[in-house]
Structure 1
Amino acid sequence: MKTRVRGVLVTPDNGVLTIKRVRPTMAPYWVLPGGGVEDSDASLEEALLREVREELAGEARIHSLIHVLVGAEERQLFFLATIESWDPAKRTGPEFADPARGEYHVQEVPLTAAGIASIDLKPEQVAELLADHGPGVFELTDLRPEWFVTAS
């Protein structure tokens, strides 16, 4: 089963960093920064921090695990983190080298119900979680102790 990590990266302005995906045959949609866990990653958290460096040229501070989606072929873990600075002009992920994969535009969206509703954020379950809680997302229970014990 493939494991992916994603970051709900909250900025100093109480925004959340998203990546607008533009593909030739699809309507634009937004995702949270992150990607696949690699064998060389020391932990799931380290995988996310690597992805943030690659996709945003930024450094994040992980706060908690707030959501887990498990499907037939992959599981996605959504970590809540803060980020102070980023520079998309310096990103280095392999997806940016292949024009056939479409465009990736970094966009800061207000962490409010209206802000989240203004974009087509995928997956829908995480969009609803963020819209429902806004900046109160930091009050959600950290799922790491429960999930890491039961997921082994």
Structure 2
Amino acid sequence: MQHRVRAVLLTPSNTMLLIKRIRPGIDPYWVIVGGKIEPTDASPEEALRREVREEIAGEVEIVSLFHTIETGDERQDFYLATIEKWSFEDRTGPEFSEEGRGEYLLEEIPLTAEAISAINLLPQEIAVVLREAVERGELLATR
């Protein structure tokens, strides 16, 4: 089973950092920062910290495990995390230089149900879980 970790990155200005993917022939969609746990990672949390450093050149404070999605041969753990500084221009992830992968744009999305509903956040299940948590006021309480 492939194990991935993702960081729901909450900023000091009550926004969430997401990556907008633009690929030829596909409608734009947004994803949560993260990726595959590597054999060299000491723990899922260390894998998450590495992925955030690679993808947005930031350091995170992990708050808690937020949600898990298991489908077939893949498990994705979504963690709530806070982030103070990042530099998308200094990203180093290998996927950014691969030919034909399309564009990656870092966007700050307001922590509102309306803002989450207005984008195509994938996987769909995490979009629903995030929207419901925002409606209950749970994400702002972590700041």
Fold match (TM-score > 0.5): yes
Q: Does the aligned pair in 1 maintain the 2:14–2:140 contact within 8 Å?
A: no
TM-score w.r.t. the length of structure 1 is 0.88
Structure 2 unaligned blocks of 5 or more: none
Q: 1:117 to 1:97 in 2, by over 3 A?
A: same
Q: Does 1:86 align with 2:65?
A: no
Q: Post-superposition shift, 1:139? A: 6.2
- Give the distance between the partners of 1:139 and 1:11, measured in 2 at CA: 12
Task: Indicate the residue corresponding to 2:113 in structure 1.
Answer: 113
Give aligned-pair identity as a percent.
52
Q: Does the aligned pair in 2 maintain the 1:112–1:130 contact within 8 Å?
A: no
Question: Greater CA deviation, 55-64 or 129-138?
Answer: 129-138
- Give the distance between the partners of 1:103 and 1:54, measured in 2 at CA: 16
Q: Post-superposition shift, 1:91? A: 0.1
Task: Indicate the residue corresponding to 1:56 in structure 2.
Answer: 56
Task: Indicate the residue corresponding to 1:128 in structure 2.
Answer: 128
- Give the distance between the partners of 2:99 and 2:131, measured in 1 at CA: 32
- Give the distance between the partners of 1:84 and 1:3, measured in 2 at CA: 27
Count of matched residue positions in the alignment of Structure 1 and Structure 2: 140
TM-score w.r.t. the length of structure 2 is 0.94
Q: Does 1:27 align with 2:31?
A: no
Task: Indicate the residue corresponding to 1:137 in structure 2.
Answer: 139
RMSD of equivalent CA atoms = 1.4
- Give the distance between the partners of 2:79 and 2:46, measured in 1 at CA: 11
Q: Post-superposition shift, 1:129? A: 1.4
Amino acid of the structure 2 residue aligned with 1:18: L
SS in 1 for 2:139: helix
More helix by share: 1
- Give the distance between the partners of 1:67 and 1:121, measured in 2 at CA: 15
Task: Indicate the residue corresponding to 2:18 in structure 1.
Answer: 18
